[in-house]
């Protein structure tokens, strides 16, 4: 479903991604973790063309990302993205937030787009909030709306960029519960997160990054198993994050 081969990226002279290679099969859930500034978010933003890259290749469902002339809105419609800060339009109602991209990018009629949006709003447990505006919802509710909006585009895979890091602690689980359901339904997912409980519950694999490099790419049982068998940098990270 997603094939990254030797992906490298620079900001000026600073190399933010260094020869990153990974393959995500259809239906796999892959958690990407690592310290701040390790290139995690940049990597997944390259997957749907939000960030450019200078070397290597990325192929999503047989579509090559980064090729000149590629229709990026169409590509992004196939690769759902959920951001840290929701990115909802504050001046539009929840129903309008759910339908606008379907109308403008997919060419759906308004009635079809609204029906589809409300179906996914119901799926995330927020059907009764359809006529409200983002500012009237909690952070957790806004993030669930953002997930519904991405799903309404019928994506082939979903990318999550630290979707719970901007939420109050009591709101985190309501978003993670939706993500767990998606994983159990077979959605292909890449999740940048520090929620190790989520990783242990639903991830097939864990990718650990540091300094723009993929240090480890292994099954979750291996990653969370014998920590002493992990590379030194992974050991240091796990010893800190699992202590909380």
- Please compute the mean of the pLDDT values over residues 30-45 and round it to a whole number: 93
Q: What is the pLDDT of residue 47?
A: 92
What is the per-residue pLDDT across 120-142, written as a single tens digit (0 to 9) for each? 999 999 999 999 999 999 999 99
Percentage above 90 pLDDT, the chain: 70
State the pLDDT at residue 244: 53
The percentage of residues in the chain with a pLDDT greater than 70, rounded to a whole number, is: 97
pLDDT value for 70: 65
pLDDT value at position 154? 92
Question: pLDDT per residue over 92-111, tens digit each?
Answer: 999 999 999 999 989 999 99
Please say if the pLDDT value at position 207 is more than 60: yes
Average pLDDT over residues 68-76: 69
Answer whether residue 90 shows pLDDT above 60: yes
**pTM exceeds 0.85:** yes
Q: For residue 205, what pLDDT is reported?
A: 95
Looking at residue 239, its pLDDT comes to 83
Q: How far is CA 228 from CA 187, 232, 235, in A?
A: 32, 8, 7
Token pair, residue 183, equals: 């994983």
Per-residue pLDDT of 2-23, as tens digits, reads 999 999 999 999 999 999 999 9
Task: Name the average pLDDT for the chain.
Answer: 91
pLDDT band at residue 243 under the 50/70/90 scheme: low
Long-range residue pairs from 117-120, CB within 8 A, at least 24 positions apart, any chain: 117/148, 117/149, 117/152, 119/152, 120/148, 120/149, 120/151, 120/152
pLDDT at 24 over 80: yes
Half-sphere exposure of 92 (CA within 13 A, CB side): 13
Residue 49, pLDDT > 70, answer: yes
């Amino acid at each position: 479903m997603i094939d990254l081969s030797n992906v490298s990226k620079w900001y000026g002279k600073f190399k933010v991604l260094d020869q990153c290679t990974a393959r995500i099969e259809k239906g796999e859930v892959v958690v990407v973790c690592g310290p701040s500034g390790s290139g995690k978010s940049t990597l997944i933003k390259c997957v749907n063309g939000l960030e450019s890259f200078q070397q290597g290749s990325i192929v999503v469902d047989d579509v090559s990302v980064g090729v000149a002339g590629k229709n990026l809105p169409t590509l992004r419609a196939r690769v759902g993205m959920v951001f840290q800060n929701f990115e909802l339009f504050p001046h539009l109602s929840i129903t309008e937030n759910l339908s606008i991209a379907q109308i403008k990018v997919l060419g759906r009629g308004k009635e079809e787009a609204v029906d589809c949006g409300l179906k996914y709003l119901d799926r995330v447990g927020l059907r009764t909030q359809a006529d409200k505006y983002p500012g009237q919802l909690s952070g957790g509710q806004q993030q669930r709306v953002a997930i519904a909006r991405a799903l309404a585009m019928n994506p082939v895979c979903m990318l999550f960029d630290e979707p719970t890091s901007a939420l109050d602690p009591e709101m985190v689980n309501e978003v993670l519960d939706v993500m767990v359901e998606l994983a159990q339904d077979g959605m292909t997912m890449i999740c940048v997160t520090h929620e190790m409980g989520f990783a242990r519950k639903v991830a097939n694999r864990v990718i650990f990054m540091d300094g723009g490099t993929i240090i480890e790419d292994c099954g979750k049982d291996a990653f969370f198993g014998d920590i002493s068998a992990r590379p030194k940098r992974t050991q240091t990270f796990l010893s800190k994050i699992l202590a909380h």
